[in-house]
Amino acid sequence: MSIYDIQYTEDPSGDSPYVGQTVQTGGIVTGIDFNNQPIRYFIADRQGGLWRGILVNDNVQRNLSIGDSVSFEARVQESSSQTRLYSITSSSFVTLPVGSSVPTTPITSGAISENAEGVLVELGECYVVNLDDGIRVDDGSGPVLIGDGWTFAYEPLLGDTLQYVRGLVSYDGSEFVVNPRDDDDFGFFANRAPLISQVTHSPDRPSAIDPVTVTARITDDSGLDDVKAYYRFGTTGDFASIEMFDDGLHNDEAADDNIWGTRLPAGPERTQAQYYISAIDIDGAETRSPAAAPAEFYGYFIRTVELSIFDLQYSDPPSYASPYNGQTVTVIGIVTCEDFRGGDIFISDPGGGIWGGIYYFSPPAEAARGDCVRVTAEVSEYNGLTELSYGSMEILGQGTLPDPVHITYEELFTNGEPYEGVLVTADTCVVTDVSGNYLSYGQFSVRAGSQSGVLRVDDDLEYIPVQGDSFRTFTGVGDYNSNPGFMIAARDDADIGYIDRRPPTVLSSKAVTPNHVNIRFNERLRQEDLTDLPNFSGINLSLPDFPAIEIVSAQLFSDQRTIQVELFESMVSTQAYQITIQEVSDTTGNILENVQVNFQGYDPIPTVAIADIYANFDSLDGLVATLRGVVNFMQDVTTTSGSRRISAFIQDESYQLYGENRDTLRFGYSLSQTGPAADFPNIRRGNLIEITGEINVYDGAIQLGSFLGNSDDIRLLSENVALPEPIEVRTGDRRLQSLIIHTSSPGAWGSGTWCRVAGTVYQVDENVGGGTNIFIDDGSGNVTIRVWDSMELDSVFIGNEWLKLGELVGKQMTISGPSSFYDGDFQMLAGYAEDFTDIPTGMVD
């Protein structure tokens, strides 16, 4: 069936009589890639003419060329009042690249209507009559719109006289338009300057060793005489020139195809290259692209040979999206911020600088600040923040932190893109509001002169912003969120140059024993205020006349925020008390005067004895319980998966009797929870604590887990408490060793009992599964002492000298530590140098 048969209609609607039907048809290809879509093309009956062209909306990209002859089976459709063929049956499609051409159909501009739809038409002499709502030309019979189904370089001026205009007719939903396929479809009476279009360069982001290919489509009605590319590296200086060619030998595709090409030399790294094109025809008419060159130009950025973070981030003009968005890259950088948002990091080019930092989301392992790392990961954009995600990371060693880039708040708040991910510092500002996203995201509003914006602190920092606070400086990493925008995120309290003008305030007060009250403040206090007991006084609020209570002592805990006050008389849980502190000051000298602290008397929390857990584990497994005891050992463990856990041991006064002499056996107990040790500040060696959590078993070890780091789950009762007397264990006493680690439940082992062995070290195995094994023997058999690498125990003092662990072989000593087990056998842990002591030669059998 011919295209004429499909298109011809006398129906006023213009619909084909075959709409909705499947037809076998074909024709000569007259236009391809319509509207930049490779599946859309036009075909026509070989003889051309009205009613003899049609648009094809294929379902497969065929890689056709103009002049190909095709035949196929398709359905006829009306779409937006334009007849087209679609739903091509692939098995029916035949292509014959015969190189045929279809004659253009002469027509007047005012006559273009339904019968010209899909037809290759030619308008005679016409004029550009309107540019307000597209290009309209008129040959005197009425104006017609020039469509943009294809691109062309011709930039018409109102009043231009054209010798002809050719194109394919389509319907845009409201009118018929003529779509020229390229600049050759325009004809000019007088010499017109060359037309330049389709300017490209490759590679898009070259390195400092890559030459760059520049190509352009250049046509002229009289012939070209001189075509050059002008270029420079940097934003100042003269442009150099280089010839362009259309000979098929200069990356310009085929010879004489109007595609001109040349290669620009490689330029210096981290430089903006600028170029433009000039074409002069044989009549001396010149065109430049861009038209305003050299004031305007094309450009590209030259990256480093080895890809850098700068290359990932830099854009000109600044844009939030990385030019490598969606690509997997490898870069080397220095960790400038760790544990951000619970484990993410920032890395920087080793030299630092603007554009030189990036956020790394969910790295596969932990890294410390200053580590030099090689990262292979995908670049992505999340809420406007450029980041690396997941991937792999290799720690290459310790690097040098770059100096922070000094910026102004105006630069940050108005154009912060160059500082995203970068370690920066800014000067004075004032906190104006903390009511927005502070509780959720640690963000608070500040003002610096006329500039207002947002800064951020993580919730594990001690500093808590208050409206009116001032900063001398504020240092951190450049962070971004679509709301509120660019900000600085402080990494720790040392990043905050806080000008403290506020006195301390009381956060909480609680009786922790019958005779001790803990008063917690919001910031660090001066020790000097606590040496003068008359500074403290107390009364009983529940008795008549409010009798005074005697203050025995006041102690500042190591966190420098908690004062423990000791009372002479025991408190009653049903009575209320008040302590007055005449004066207390923070470390910068701000004074809080006459502070009155009210609290309720001591109400003991029921606790579970550790010895009872060993004796009745199955009945207690899974229950929430409170333990009270002294922490004898604490370590910060990094698991094989890269996560962090605190592992500690606690021991109370409960015991079991064993042996013929009915000796007492006091047990220790394991405390284990996800999170770094810094999240649990009250769990420290020598601290007497009450801790509430769940009794359970993990990997064969009975433990207390599921506790939080707050003062409700972990209550500090006292510091610097003497460790319990150790159980003296013979290295070969398997019976006692078994009693220490066995519980009432088979396969569930206990650990944490404070023990001591004495003997001679006969073997040290280092680098074994993340630690060192020390084997000691008193003549009765050997015991393994395990020292985890996380304890960072490098040397101990034995025989009046510091010795590396590997140098202990042959030395006699005592070693104290908590009990542990391996494959059901007793072993001990060690991690503190003071737990290794000399014994006189000959003391060990």
CATH number reported for the structural domain that contains residue 476 in this entry: 2.40.50.140
* Residue 245 DSSP SS3: strand
Instruction: Kindly state whether residues 216 and 105 are assigned to the same domain.
Output: no
Token output for 491: 């990494």
Identify the domain containing residue 486 by its residue range.
405-492
Strand partners, 737: none
Whether residue 713 lies inside any domain: the answer is yes
* Residue 306 DSSP SS3: coil
Other beta carbons within 10 Å of 147: 22
Domain end marker among 140, 166, 186: 186
First-to-last alpha carbon distance for the chain, in angstroms, is 111
Whether residue 425 lies inside any domain: the answer is yes
Instruction: Kindly state whether residues 594 and 620 are assigned to the same domain.
Output: no
How far apart are alpha carbons 502 and 505 in whole angstroms? 9
Instruction: Check residue 774 and give its pLDDT.
Output: 97
Whether residue 175 lies inside any domain: the answer is yes
Instruction: Kindly state whether residues 135 and 27 are assigned to the same domain.
Output: yes
Q: How far out from the chain centre does Cα 655 lie? A: 51
pTM of the predicted structure, to 2 decimals: 0.51
Instruction: Kindly state whether residues 480 and 376 are assigned to the same domain.
Output: no
Whether residue 501 lies inside any domain: the answer is no
Whether residue 802 lies inside any domain: the answer is yes
Whether residue 500 lies inside any domain: the answer is no
Strands across the sheet with 259-264, in order?
195-202, 212-219, 259-264
Instruction: Kindly state whether residues 36 and 174 are assigned to the same domain.
Output: yes
Instruction: Kindly state whether residues 611 and 726 are assigned to the same domain.
Output: yes
Domain end marker among 302, 324, 346: 302
The series of mean pLDDT values per 10 residues for the chain, 845 residues long, is 95 92 95 93 95 95 91 94 93 83 92 96 93 92 95 83 94 93 87 86 92 92 91 95 94 90 93 95 90 92 91 83 92 93 90 94 92 95 92 92 95 93 94 75 89 85 83 94 90 87 88 94 85 90 94 91 94 96 88 93 93 94 94 81 80 82 84 81 91 93 86 86 93 94 92 96 92 95 93 91 94 95 94 90 53
Instruction: Kindly state whether residues 42 and 130 are assigned to the same domain.
Output: yes
Burial level of 109, CB count in 10 A (0-12/13-18/19+)?
Answer: buried
Instruction: Kindly state whether residues 517 and 458 are assigned to the same domain.
Output: no
Instruction: Kindly state whether residues 413 and 521 are assigned to the same domain.
Output: no
Strand partners, 264: 212
- Total domain count for the chain? 6
Instruction: Kindly state whether residues 788 and 641 are assigned to the same domain.
Output: yes
CA-CA-CA-CA dihedral for 67, 68, 74, 78, to nearest 10 = -20
Whether residue 497 lies inside any domain: the answer is no
Instruction: Kindly state whether residues 712 and 821 are assigned to the same domain.
Output: yes
Instruction: Check residue 783 and give its pLDDT.
Output: 96
Whether residue 499 lies inside any domain: the answer is no
DSSP at 468: T
Instruction: Kindly state whether residues 393 and 415 are assigned to the same domain.
Output: no
Domain end marker among 302, 326, 342: 302
Q: For the chain, give me the number of helices (H) and strands (E)? A: 7, 58
**Residues making up the chain, counted from first to last:** 845
